[in-house]
Amino acid sequence: MDAKLLPQSCSLLKTLSPRHVHQQRCSPVHAVQVRPRDMPSLKPIETCPGLGIETGVYKDSWFDLLAINHLSRTLQATAGLRSRKSGYESLVETATMVSRMFDPEKQRELVVQSLEKAIPRIILSMIRTFLPQSKFTREYCAVFTTIFFTWLIGSSEVRESELNGRREKNVVHIKKCRFLEQTNCVGMCTNLCKMPSQAFIKDSMGMPVNMVPSKLF
């Protein structure tokens, strides 16, 4: 998967091709939904087909676990869910429950709200103020992503691309996306990662990004 940081005028959206999907059931979920009394009853949505991806082994550091659990708990609180697991299993379980209980539009909305809660607003404001759109900003953010977001997306590297006739290192190439690998679901990748992440980064940080899955393993 490639995530390309773009100038404001560029198009953002590309979708996953359904031809890559193979029929396979997703793993069972053990999360508990906790709804406020005034929340309407939601009809569970059938889970998407699996991809049959062989999962790897990840050794999360204390920082990785701190970030994973923070994001998982924030998503749980936003969606009104509670997971009995911890670490990346908790994040995957929560995301799976969200995909089953809410339609795609609501899934994206919940993830954007969770990201807004997970990252202090003052930090986002500082990024917009001190890192305006430029080649330096795009290259800096690409390097930052490869260093500090391995816990979420897995191993990645910075690559070059041509932008407005100039070469710059603004592409983050994800060798094997951890979230897609662990959720084993194209729909969850699209609605709980790709689409809301693009919207959040553009609206909150002023940094348009295009996440393009190159292949599904």
Domain regions of the chain by residue span: 2-16+31-39+60-212
Task: Take residue 23 and report the two structure tokens written for it.
Answer: 């029929």
Task: Take residue 101 and report the two structure tokens written for it.
Answer: 């209980």
Cα(79)–Cα(69) distance, integer angstroms: 15
The pTM score is: 0.74
| pLDDT value at residue 129 | 87
**Tens-place pLDDT, residues 88-103:** 999 999 999 999 999 9
Q: In the chain, what is the greatest distance between 2 CA atoms, to the nearest angstrom?
A: 56
| pLDDT value at residue 159 | 93
Q: Count CB neighbours of 85 within 10 A.
A: 15
